[in-house]
Amino acid sequence: MTLATLSDVLQPALKGGYAVAGLVCLGWEDARAYVTAAEAEGAPVILQAGPSCREHTPLPVLGSMFRYLAESVEVPVVAHLDHGYSVEECHDAIRAGFSSIMFDGSRKPLEENIAETAAIAELAHMDGVSCEGEIGFVGYSGGEASAGTDPEEAAQFARETGVDAMAISVGNVHLQQDHEGGLDMPRIRAIEAVTEVPLVIHGGSGVPIEQRSALAKTSAICKFNIGTELRMAFGKALREAVNADPDRFDRVQILKETHDPMVAAARAAIRAISKG
């Protein structure tokens, strides 16, 4: 079994000058494609269940699915809760077999975010589970605006919460459909100067691939969350499969045709930031 914690894969990445892909899952088809891609690249992967995924599929089902997929490959696979918003949700994920959780208190005042994240990190660590937190706020394309991470607050957050990874807001935006969102390098360097915690970029699809590669090699950013570009690849493959034969109705046969394109897209995302 290759189930791993977030710390298991990010600490070697921090020391080795590479990053690990946190791939956002919406169901069986993409999760299976992601572990196939990771195995083909010989790289670890983080399977992420975000709020929309959890709205569609219960946590116990997702936990079992991620663990099953981890058993099917030789590379490390992290079963990660993305954007948990309460102690109860994070606790439910731990009980469901997740090896890593992210508590998102980024909309809360600093002291409240620190206190709640620290309590959840302690709860996770008692069960051998990793914890990611967020300082600053990563906004959404066409929606809530970002609030950039203050380096001094980041240092305090890392010191007082004991998180295994820290998501930061440095020009990244969730749900961005192009690669035009270059990151704020001076802010990244200022954060790196005051903390040794592995850093995480949410909204990685909006970051130019060349910048992802460079940052993986030369910064403390050890995890890029990639969702939108992979969902776009899935949607394109699904449309092509449906349009190829309008009379076809068997979902299993149709969805099979999304597998290879999703593997290819995930391999490209992993390869851009992995070692070697």
Residue 138: pLDDT above 90?
no
3-state helix, strand, coil in the chain (%, to 5): 50, 15, 35
Buried b (16+ CB within 10 A) or exposed e, 187-200: bbebbbeebebbbb
Q: 99 in a domain, yes or no?
A: yes
pLDDT at 175 > cutoff 60:
no
pLDDT score for 80? 98
- The model's pLDDT over 30-71, given as tens digits with 9 standing for 90+, comes to 999 999 999 999 999 999 999 999 999 999 999 999 999 999
pLDDT tens sequence across 228-241: 899 999 999 999 99
Average pLDDT score over the chain? 92
**Is 89 inside any structural domain?**
yes
Q: Which amino acid is at 251?
A: R
Residue 276 pLDDT > 90:
no
- Whether residue 209 contacts residue 272, with contact meaning beta carbons closer than 8 Å, is answered with yes
Domain that holds residue 101: 3-271
Q: For the residues 3-27, what does the mean pLDDT come to? A: 97
Q: To the nearest 10°, report the CA torsion of 37, 171, 141, 154.
A: 90
Catalytic annotation, pick one of 82, 104, 150, 164: 82
- pLDDT, one tens digit per residue, over 231-273 is 999 999 999 999 998 888 899 999 999 999 999 999 999 999 9
Give the pLDDT band of residue 140 (cuts 50, 70, 90). Answer: low
Q: At 29, which CATH number?
A: 3.20.20.70
Contacts of 115 (CB under 8 A, 6+ apart): none
Q: How many domains does the chain have?
A: 1
Is this prediction's pTM over 0.85? yes
Predicted pLDDT at 179? 55
Q: What would the mean pLDDT of 74-86 be, rounded to a whole number?
A: 96
Burial of 164 (0-12, 13-18, 19+ CB in 10 A): buried
Assigned domain for 276 exists: no
Does residue 216 form part of some domain?
Answer: yes
**pLDDT of 15 higher than 80:** yes
Q: Is 150 known to be catalytic?
A: no
Q: Above 70 in pLDDT, residue 178?
A: no
